[in-house]
Amino acid sequence: MMSVGLSLRREKFDVALSARWDPRDHFLLRLTGAKARLGFPRTGSQIFLTEPLAIADRKAHRYENWRIIAQSLNLPSDAREQLAFPPSRETRLILVHTGAAQPVRIWPLERYHALVKKLRALGHQVRIVCNAEQLIPWQQAGETDVAAPRSIQGLLEILGTARLFIGNDSGPGHLAAACGLPTFTLFGPQLPELFVPLHPAAEFVEGKPCPYKPCFDYCRFPTPFCLWDITEEEVWPRLSQFVQRHIPVKPATIQSRTAAKV
């Protein structure tokens, strides 16, 4: 921590901020030596801040915390309904991102695989994107064009080729929404009203009830049943409707594909 603090101080930041009410964040802000340190104090962490802020309603989307910080810095801060997003692309490619930073947010790969097969059976073009450790399992499942980008730039390049994004409650989904992709998110330990991607066409499946929700990067149980108890059969009707709204498949095409299989 001493080394981190020295490195941060050498940068001579004017402003340091955090949109989370986490005392660890605030301690890190103090290490920067920034003259202005903004955050939402908790359990006495205001001692590390120069500008303690009043948090938005805890049931409000986390974007509202960023708006409060922006307003404190006299920066533009549009309301959610005023946000502008890039238009949809002409491509029909659907990205399915099966990774997340934390294991408790990852829906089982075999269920994603089943959904992908159903989408392809309807004639949709689907590409898998994943965490690095998921690459080999997907290749073993027969995916020859699976991607595991190692940088944000690499992920952005892939997002730029797609029309829709399907995935876990994770950073790539928010990045996809910012790039103009409607998103379909599988939630587990978190609440959709707090973290659903901001795109107006975003849809989701909410995780199963748990007395400890919302939680973040851990689970009190051997498996995160709030996410793992969501079945493929539950997801498919809502997912297929989401895809049909944005990439329509003619009924005649569906019937011909079904007949060919029979």
- The per-residue DSSP string of 24-68 comes to HHHHHHHHHT-SEEEE---TTGGGG-SEE-PPPPTTS-THHHHHH
| Predicted local confidence at residue 88, as pLDDT | 85
Q: Name 261's Cβ contacts closer than 8 Å, sequence gap at least 6.
A: 121
pLDDT tens-digit series, residues 69-82: 999 999 988 999 99
| Predicted local confidence at residue 217, as pLDDT | 82
pLDDT at 257 over 70: no
Q: What is the mean pLDDT of residues 180-194?
A: 96
pLDDT at 245 over 60: yes
pLDDT tens-digit series, residues 28-67: 999 999 999 999 999 999 999 999 999 888 889 999 999 9
pLDDT tens-digit series, residues 124-175: 999 999 999 999 999 999 999 999 999 999 999 999 999 999 999 999 999 9
Q: List 125's β-bridge partners, or say none.
A: 93
Q: For the chain, what percent of residues have pLDDT higher than 70?
A: 95
Tokens of 121: 């059976």
Torsion sign (Cα): 229, 230, 233, 234: positive
| Predicted local confidence at residue 58, as pLDDT | 82
| Predicted local confidence at residue 1, as pLDDT | 84
pLDDT at 228 over 80: yes
Question: Hey, what's the torsion of the CAs at 41, 46, 50, 55, to 10 degrees?
Answer: 20
| Predicted local confidence at residue 255, as pLDDT | 52
Q: What is the mean pLDDT of residues 16-36?
A: 94
pLDDT at 256 over 80: no
pLDDT at 262 over 50: no
| Predicted local confidence at residue 250, as pLDDT | 77
Q: What is the mean pLDDT of the chain?
A: 93
Residue 254 or residue 11, greater confidence: 11
In angstroms, rounded to a whole number, what is the distance separating the alpha carbons of residues 154 and 169?
A: 20
| Coil, strand or helix at 11 | helix
Q: How far is CA 20 from CA 12, 46, 62, 68, 174, in A?
A: 23, 13, 9, 12, 17
Q: Which domains are seen in the chain, by residue range? A: 2-82 (3.40.50.2000), 93-251 (3.40.50.2000)
| Predicted local confidence at residue 122, as pLDDT | 97
Q: Residue 261: pLDDT band by 50, 70, 90 thresholds? A: low
